[in-house]
Structure 1
């Protein structure tokens, strides 16, 4: 029964995660935290939840990246630039997790994703931050409808933000997409489809680095990871397919709704527990 539950969680989490560029951790982590309140899964600690989630996201990231490569929506140049910061940050974040207990982890994680949802809610009211074309990276992307987007950023700022994203990824086991996607959309003017695909591309190496640290700390439940991986691989393919079919506004709306629901639930669990 445990394996069936975890396979279902893996498919659902990876489908949603790949669709919105989060890697599935934003669903896997709260799902495992909820299961930890049940007798069968009571041995799960926040550290093991995060470590196991990050390990399974290696396969979500790989599956999604291979699929997005076919659709040619990955911005490789930006992805490698951001990885300069997110790589070291993810390793540091994995060590920070060791200091948290279950209740404080739930509250901090819930507040974090509610903050992200708030950023997306007010997105329509925010004016794009200006960027100097002669001082940063300027790129263009033409979507399936023939619409061309121009976006860009300062590489130094991009690396610094990516470091923070990597740090939070290692702490919460979410792959970093929950922060990197809205950052790319709001600050760097990325089209949502490109932000999502590039985020999934970044999740692969970031998850590997974080997982190595968590494995060394003994924070991976291998049996649960093996149950989650098949679902993560299948779900990633489903998410990529849906991403190519939905409009950009639809993806952002789904992202906001999921974050608000999960964030409120986690804060409630942390306080009530």
Structure 2
């Protein structure tokens, strides 16, 4: 029964996560923490085991989603690679810090982090909109443009800021096992002016590489229970493919609202 539950958790979290560019860890980790509290069959699920398995599962979620998005030309590989330059070393630091955090504090900090991100989304409309000016392009900035449904979108951001944000997100990802999408997608939308239909796919591209590195570190640390991880992996791959397909039919505003609702529910559940 536990194996079937793990498979279904893999499908559900990857499906929802892929739609919003989360990777699914922000749903997977709280779900596993809840099951550990209410069922003796999940008594093995410590924060370290949960984070480790979550990151292993997200390798396959990120792979399936990123490939699907790349075929549709929605992934900003240039920006994603820049973020990864800071994200990967940050992820290793997060994995190191994870071994020192206790269950109660882990849930409280993760829940608070989720609500802070939701708050940023709600104040987004009150923040001044970043305008792209081709006449004042800076050499220290990345300048990108994409064609979405016949409409050209342009955005730019500082290379240094991009790397620093990537490092911070990578550290929190390795620490909490959430893949980083729940942090990186809001950052890309709010700070860098990227449209949600580019931010979410680019996030999945990053999640594959960052989760691959973080999960390897957790494997070396002995945090992975492979019996349960292997039950969730097929479901996560399937959910990632399905979520990427659904993403194409949703408006950017809809994706952002899905992100807000999911993170509000998860954040409150972790804190109370």
Corresponding position: 1:142 with 2:147: yes
Aligned equivalents of 2:128, 2:40: Cα separation in 1: 49
Aligned equivalents of 2:47, 2:2: Cα separation in 1: 18
1:7 is aligned to 7
Describe the SS at the equivalent of 1:74.
coil
Aligned equivalents of 2:121, 2:54: Cα separation in 1: 24
Corresponding position: 1:241 with 2:241: no
1:232 is aligned to 236
Farther-moved stretch of structure 1 (121-130 vs 248-257): 121-130
User: Is the CA contact 1:128–1:187 (under 8 Å) kept in the aligned structure 2?
Assistant: no
CA shift at 1:212, angstroms? 1.2
C-alpha RMSD of the superposition: 1.1
Aligned equivalents of 2:34, 2:199: Cα separation in 1: 30
Corresponding position: 1:61 with 2:62: yes
Describe the SS at the equivalent of 1:150.
strand
Deviations 1:171-227 (A, max 9, x none): 000111111101010111111010001000001110011011111111111111111
> Under a length normalisation based on structure 2, what TM-score does the superposition of the two structures give?
0.96
1:17 is aligned to 17
Aligned equivalents of 1:47, 1:19: Cα separation in 2: 26
Corresponding position: 1:265 with 2:269: yes
Aligned equivalents of 2:87, 2:46: Cα separation in 1: 25
Ranges in structure 1 where 5+ consecutive residues have no aligned partner: 269-273
Deviations 1:128-182 (A, max 9, x none): 35676224111111112x1111111011110011000000000000111111101
User: Is the CA contact 1:128–1:186 (under 8 Å) kept in the aligned structure 2?
Assistant: no
1:271 is aligned to none
Match of 1:250 among 238, 241, 254: 254
Corresponding position: 1:106 with 2:107: yes
1:186 is aligned to 190
Corresponding position: 1:213 with 2:217: yes
Farther-moved stretch of structure 1 (178-187 vs 135-144): 135-144
Corresponding position: 1:170 with 2:171: no
Give the aligned length.
267
Aligned equivalents of 1:14, 1:263: Cα separation in 2: 18
Describe the SS at the equivalent of 1:220.
coil
Aligned equivalents of 2:227, 2:34: Cα separation in 1: 18
> Under a length normalisation based on structure 1, what TM-score does the superposition of the two structures give?
0.96
CA shift at 1:124, angstroms? 1.2
Describe the SS at the equivalent of 1:227.
helix
